[in-house]
Structures are given as C-alpha cells and as structure tokens.
C-alpha cells in the first residue's frame, strides 16, 4: 500500500500554525545560569571572611600575612568549573537525534528540520526514522516502532491506524503515516526532558560533612574574633592606647591569624583535588565522571537498580537455536530469505547471521507481516512457508492432535527460559492471507537478547560487597527473570509491576521481597528509587533509555551507558563510555580510596580548626597576646598539613566504607586539638610569666606547632610505608631549611630561642604528643567498634 498518499497541509495552513506558535521548536531553559553558579561558589560566607581579612592586611601594609587568600581563590575556581560542567551536560540534553523529518505538504513529500514540524502535519515514517513529534497513525504498512528508549519494552511495537506514536521512538520495520497532535514542549520526549533536566548536585557525605563544619565555625567565628581582638588590644595597653599609638595594627593582624586558622579552607580544596584526580583516573578507564562527588558516592551504595536492556543485555536480538521438528529440505534457505528483506524487523534480521544462502529462485508470492495475525509468509515452488508465533500460526482451536500439542508445550517451555520463539511451517499455497490447512511445523526457532559478557562477574562483585540488586525493566517479567538467572541470580522470579500496590508501605515490602520486576513504567522506576531511598538505602541506578532518565536523575548515583539516549547521559553522574558494565567495580574502588583518604586528611585539617578555635578562645579569655602571625601559620600549616595531605589523599586505599565520616573525624580532631591547645597554652602562659619577649614567644609557639603538627602527621599516616616516610621526611627537611635560612627566618619573624624557651618548648611538645597518642589509641578502638556494628547490621539486612 502507499501509506504516503495523503494530501498533507498546504503552505497557507503551515504559515497559520507557525504564526500561532504551534510548531515543534523547543528552546530548553538553562538548567542553571552561569551567574548563579559563580555566585554560589564565590559569594560565600567564608570567602567573604577571607576576602575581608585579605583586604585588611593589605590596607594596613601587612601583605606578607595574606598568603591564605590563594587557597580561597582555588576553592572558588574549582567549584565553579565543576558545576559549570554539570550545567553544560544538562543544557545539551536532547532526546531527538534526528536532524530532519519527512512530511507531506501540498500533496508532495518534503524533508524539513524537526523544529519546522507543525501541528497537524502528515508525517511519513520509514525504517530508520526517529519520530519527531507525537502523532496518531493514519496509515500503516507493517509499521513497527522501537519504543525501548521510552518505555523499556525491548520488543518492537506494531502500529496500526488510530495508534499513537511518541516522539523519540524509532521506526524499525514497515512504513506509515501519522498526523501530528502534540509538538514542542508538549511532546512526550520534551516533557520528559524538562522534568529530567532540573539541576541538582549529587549527595556527598564528604561535602555535606565539610559544609556542616563550616556552618558550625560560621556561628562562632564572629564572637571569637571580637574576643581575640579585645584580648590583643588589652595586651597592648587598652583600646585607647592601641588606637592612639597605631599598635592596633598588630592586634588586627593577630586577630586575623586566629580567624584564618579556624577556617578549614585546605580541606575543601583537598577534597576537590582528590575528587578531580579520581575522575581523571577513571577517565583513563573510559568512565566519564560528570560530577566529582559521584566518585565517592558509588562507594557508599548499598542498593543498585539495573535496567535490563542496554545494561545487563546489549539491547539487540540474536538467533539462539533451531529445533528441527519435521524433515523438510530448503528450510535454511527460506530463513536466509527472511533475514535479508528490506522491511525485516530486528528478530528476522538476526536470522541472516546464521543462515547465509537464500533460495536461487524468486518468490512466487508473499503475505506481509500483520500485527493482527502475527505471521508472514512467502511462496516458493515447493510450497507456502509461514513464519510467526507458534500460537498464532497453529491456534489450538484449528490445529489439534499430538503434533501440535507437543509443539505448544515445547514453545511454552522455551519461552519460560526467557527466549522468544517463532515457528517456520510449510503447506500448500492458499492464495489468500490464511495459514494452509495442511501446514506442517518444520522448525521451532528461538531468539535471545545478547547478554553482556561482563554482567555476571560484575553482579558477583556486588554480591560479595553486600550490595543488594534490583532488576527493573519494561519487558515481560518472566523474560527478565530468565535473563537474571543467566547472569547469576539463581532464584530470581519476575514480578509484574502492574500488580504494584498503591500503599507505600506495601510497595516497599514488595520491593524487599522481590529482585526482578517487569512491565515497569518510567514513573514506577522513579517510584522504586524514591521508596528505596526513603528506607535509608543509598541507591545507584543504571540504564540507557529515556525511560530510565527520571529514575537515574532521582538516584543517589546515576550511571548511564554511552550507547544510551542523550537524556540519560545528561542526567547521569557517571557515563560508561565503552558501555562496559564491568567498570563499576573500579569506580567503587576509586570511591573507597577517596573516602578513606579524605577521612584521614580531614583529621589533619579539623585538628587545626579545633586547636585554632580553642587557642583563640583561651587566649581571648586570658587576655594574652595571640602567639602567631598569619604568615607563620600559613607556612607551618602548609608543611605539616597541606602538602603532605595532598600526597596522603592520593594513596591507594581499599578500606571498606563505614558510615559516620564526620563523627569519626571529630572524635579525633577535637581531643587532639585540645591536646595541642593545652601544650601551647601552658607554654605561652609560663613564657609570659617569665618575661620572655613576645617575638621569642611567637617563635617558640611556631616551633611547638611544627613539632606537634609533624607528630600528628606521623600518627595519621600509620602504618608508615616507604612512600609515607619519604613524604614525612621531606616535610621535616623543608621545615629545617625554613628555620635555617636567614631569608625565611626574617620573613617569618623567627628568633633563636633562649634556654628557658627551649625547655618550655620541649616540655609543651612532649605533653601534647603524649596526649595525642592517648587520643589516637581511644579513637582506633571506637573506629573498630563502628566497623563491627556496621558489619552486624549489614548481615542482618
């Protein structure tokens, strides 16, 4: 039939619709403006504090003490760049990949841009076309559409007059015409895109924990600053004298030193750098990290939801086996003929890989495939060959007897294994579109989806890591269950999503009782993810179709195949560029390294925040001069915390993730900070009592902080490997050089300690070190107890 015989719209009718705005043009809103990204990363409270301190030091001529400003700049730049990358990925989200559409206008066929399609246009659909807008079929010649990217159903869908076709689906067989009834933002593909593209950042325990610390510090930084400033002014003879003599500059510098030391800027920067390095390493393994904290996120996942098509399977149909029923010469050549037809669907095309020699003669007649009868036929000299579903070619009410009963039972058994079945039969040509009454089943054909070779091993890895799995698909539940059993889920039974209960509690109970779900709609996929998250689980979702986009967006970590739709890749946190599911264990390992190492270096930075806060409060209450200049803290912190933390954060570390990162970090940092404060406070008080000059007190305080800081570095590096020893040794040498060179000593305003100062420095250092060893001993016991409790909880689940 000529399905493109309609008149279509006239030029004036098209112009009217364009003037009314009823076109397929769709301008996607920006997910997040560049201005808002920069504002979020630059105009923060702490950047404001750092900038204010930076400007004050420049204004009073103390630029040497403003080194901390570079860390704040680096934080803002890295954060802005990463969020801008996420924004660009979302803005590029597009479901329609076809650049043109085929329409009938003024009784002639024309190719136009997808954006120029208007309401009521008559679309011409042929094999390979992507549907540009939602439409209603008005003519069909065996029209079949692949809607797997939209619905998850991998079987081709037959379309007849009156059926709806959705934008984004692909014509895989036959041809047809359809009248457009929804365009632009109202079409299915674009409405789904609009919902999926809402901007959001991946949940990160590291980032949220650090943000919480920054929030806590923000509440106390103002009062502490005033407390320190008042103490410095009092130590200089009072406010009036300090203001009249200009000594207030020294008080302001000391106050800024206390404020800057309290802010763990280095921890924020180190976390960003560690994420970035992890992303680069995964990039070399063909894993694109679209948002850096996703590297950490997958290491925390305890539930992974998998779409079948494109994840466990490669999304294509492959010929499985031919089960010969009746000796009939020439059946292989007939199947080769079927596999080479231009209008062959995916199932028929798979025959060409096994059957390569078609008949020498031309076909004498043909019955095209019909979605109503579910079979097609071809006539050669030796008879009429019929190919179709066993139950449609040989319906029980027409064909009776042991032969047909056995065929039905065998087809049912094979279908239960997840394979699709077709029957090839031969009989006398009928001359019409009916199966010959004397048709004999010749061969039963089975087909299967091509399972990814790495799927079973990857699922075994997650099982060993105590990560639960849920397989959710738009396909038949039994088919999905059979594939699940093929990849190692031995007891998998399919649950039909059409039977999901409405009650949320019952719904969650169903999710806990079953592993495989079929006939799942896109909204149900999202509901599954939301329900699992509400139950306290960290959920990853993998997929490749548009039907997966909403669930992937909602999941804690979304993983997309590069072969999938643009929408799915745009909203995913991770994209497997070579479509290899087996990369996920590498991502988990990288995430564990990030978490374990950041937890270690966070103890360094949070210990500094703790002792800086305690020192500021202590010296403020005792009205003692703050014992550091900002430049002294910048250099010592860099060599005992910042630089070694960079190397420690990049070391291999396969430690299992245990929830409670911030609590464990603070249970070490706070008491360790108190130990440092006790040693420094006692030293400063005793030194002031003995009348030791202020420059010498500062030099002694800097030396104590250097010694104790190096010891904390050694404690947190245990066990000290050769590489860690090299890093620690290098830092020691660097500190010796700084204390030895006159240039650096003058810059840092360091003076040689007298004997009383040296004795106090040694005593204070040993006191702090002894207390830190006690803290570390208790902390390790608490960490082991947490790990044991989590292991017990995991086993209970």
What does the alpha-carbon distance between residue 183 and residue 14 come to, in Å, rounded to a whole number? 14
The angle that helices 248-262 and 630-637 make with each other, rounded to 10 degrees, is 30
DSSP labels, 595-644: HHHHHHHHHHHHHHHHHHHHHHHHHHHTTPPPS--HHHHHHHHIIIIIHH
Q: Is 307 annotated in the active site? A: yes
Number of helices and strands in the chain (H, E): 29, 21
Beta strands in 325-419 (DSSP E): 365-367, 375-380, 383-388
Instruction: Please tell me the chain's helix, strand, coil percentages from 3-state DSSP, rounded to the nearest 5.
Output: 55, 15, 30
**Rounded to a whole number, what is the distance in angstroms from the first to the last CA of the chain?**
60
Q: CA-to-CA distance for 215 and 232, rounded, in angstroms?
A: 26
Cα 527 to Cα 131, 478, 497: the distances in Å are 28, 22, 11
Number of residues written out for the chain: 797
Q: Which residues pair with 122 in a beta bridge?
A: 104, 179
**Nearest-angstrom CA–CA distance, 645 and 269:** 11
Q: Tell me the Cα Rg of the chain.
A: 35
Query: Which residue among the candidates 302, 307, 475, 548 is catalytic per the annotation?
Result: 307
CA dihedral of residues 355, 360, 363, 364 (deg, nearest 10): -150
The DSSP 8-state label assigned to residue 186 in this structure reads G
Tokens standing for 741?
A: 């060179």
Asked if 640 contacts 728 with a C-beta cutoff of 8 angstroms, the reply is: no
Beta strands in 42-200 (DSSP E): 100-105, 108-113, 122-126, 134-146, 157-158, 164-165, 170-182
From residue 747, give the alpha-carbon distance in Å to each of 375, 705, 751: 89, 18, 11
Q: Which 3 state secondary structure label does DSSP give 99?
A: coil
- The SS3 of residue 508 is helix
Query: Annotated active-site positions, please?
Result: 307
């Amino acid at each position: 039939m000529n399905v493109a015989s309609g008149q279509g719209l006239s030029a004036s009718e098209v112009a009217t619709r364009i003037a009314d705005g009823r076109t397929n043009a769709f301008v996607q809103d920006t997910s997040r403006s560049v201005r808002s990204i920069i504002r979020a990363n630059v105009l923060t409270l702490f950047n404001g504090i750092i900038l204010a301190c930076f400007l004050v030091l420049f204004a009073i001529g103390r630029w040497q003490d403003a080194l901390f400003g570079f860390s704040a700049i680096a934080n803002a730049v890295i954060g802005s760049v990463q969020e801008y990358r996420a924004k660009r990925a979302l803005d590029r989200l597009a479901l329609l990949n076809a650049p043109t559409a085929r329409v009938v206008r003024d009784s002639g066929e024309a190719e136009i841009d997808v954006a120029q399609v208007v309401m009521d246009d008559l679309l011409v659909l042929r094999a390979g076309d992507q549907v540009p807008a939602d439409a209603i079929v008005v003519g069909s010649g065996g029209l079949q559409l692949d809607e797997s990217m939209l619905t998850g159903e991998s079987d081709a869908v037959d379309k007849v007059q009156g059926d709806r076709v959705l934008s984004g689906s692909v014509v895989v067989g036959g041809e047809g015409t359809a009248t457009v009834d929804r365009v632009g933002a109202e079409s299915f593909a674009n409405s789904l895109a609009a919902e999926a593209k809402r901007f959001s950042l991946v949940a990160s325990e590291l980032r949220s924990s650090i943000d919480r610390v920054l929030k806590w510090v923000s509440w106390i930084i103002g009062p502490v600053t005033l407390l320190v400033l008042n103490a410095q002014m009092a130590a200089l003879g009072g406010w009036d004298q300090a203001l009249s003599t200009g000594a207030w500059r020294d008080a302001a510098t000391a106050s800024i030193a206390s404020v800057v030391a309290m802010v763990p800027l280095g921890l924020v920067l180190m976390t960003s750098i560690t994420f970035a390095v992890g992303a680069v390493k995964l990039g070399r393994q063909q894993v694109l990290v679209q948002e850096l904290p996703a590297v950490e996120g997958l290491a925390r996942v305890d539930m992974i939801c998998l779409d079948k098509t494109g994840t466990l399977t490669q999304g294509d149909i492959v010929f499985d086996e031919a089960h010969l029923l009746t000796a009939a010469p020439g059946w292989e050549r007939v199947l080769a003929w079927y596999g080479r037809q231009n209008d062959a669907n995916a199932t028929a095309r798979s025959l060409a890989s096994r059957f390569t020699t078609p008949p020498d003669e031309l076909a004498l007649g043909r019955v095209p495939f019909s979605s109503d009868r579910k079979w097609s036929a071809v006539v050669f000299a030796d008879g009429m060959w019929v190919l179709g579903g066993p139950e449609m070619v040989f319906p029980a009410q027409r064909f009776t007897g042991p032969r047909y009963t056995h065929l039905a039972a065998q087809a049912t058994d094979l279908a239960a294994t997840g394979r699709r079945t077709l029957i090839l039969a031969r009989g006398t040509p009928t001359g019409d579109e009916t199966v010959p009454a004397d048709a004999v089943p010749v061969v039963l054909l089975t087909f299967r989806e091509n399972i990814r070779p790495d799927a079973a091993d990857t699922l075994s890895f997650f099982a060993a890591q105590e990560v639960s799995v849920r397989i959710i698909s738009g396909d038949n539940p039994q088919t999905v269950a059979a594939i699940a059993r093929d990849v190692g889920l031995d007891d998998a039974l399919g649950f039909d999503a059409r039977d999901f209960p409405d009650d949320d509690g019952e719904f969650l109970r169903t999710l806990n009782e079953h592993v495989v779900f079929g006939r799942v709609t896109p909204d149900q996929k999202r509901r599954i993810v939301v329900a699992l998250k509400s139950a306290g689980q960290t959920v990853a979702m993998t997929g490749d179709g548009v039907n997966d986009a909403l669930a992937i967006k909602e999941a804690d970590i979304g993983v997309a195949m590069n072969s999938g739709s643009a929408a799915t890749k745009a909203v995913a946190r991770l994209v497997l560029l070579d479509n290899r599911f087996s990369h996920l264990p590498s991502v988990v390992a990288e995430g564990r390294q990030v978490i374990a190492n950041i937890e270690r270096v966070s103890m360094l930075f949070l210990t500094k925040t703790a002792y800086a806060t305690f020192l500021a409060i202590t010296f403020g209450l005792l009205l003692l001069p703050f014992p550091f200049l900002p430049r002294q803290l910048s250099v010592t912190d860099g060599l005992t915390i910042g630089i070694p933390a960079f190397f420690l954060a990049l070391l291999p570390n396969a430690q299992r993730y245990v929830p409670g990162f911030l609590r464990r970090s603070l249970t070490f940092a706070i008491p360790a900070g108190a130990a440092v404060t006790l040693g420094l406070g006692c030293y400063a008080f005793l030194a002031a009592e003995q009348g030791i000059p202020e420059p010498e007190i500062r030099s002694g305080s800097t030396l104590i902080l250097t010694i104790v800081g190096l010891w904390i570095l050694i404690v947190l590096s245990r066990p000290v490997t050769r590489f860690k020893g090299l890093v620690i040794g290098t830092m020691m040498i660097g500190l010796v050089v700084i204390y030895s060179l006159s240039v650096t000593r003058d810059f840092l305003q360091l003076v040689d300690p007298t004997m009383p100062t040296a004795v106090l420095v040694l005593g204070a250092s040993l006191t702090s070190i002894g207390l830190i060893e006690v803290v570390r001993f208790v902390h390790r016991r608490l960490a082991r107890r947490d790990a044991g409790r989590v292991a017990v909880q995991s086993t209970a689940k």
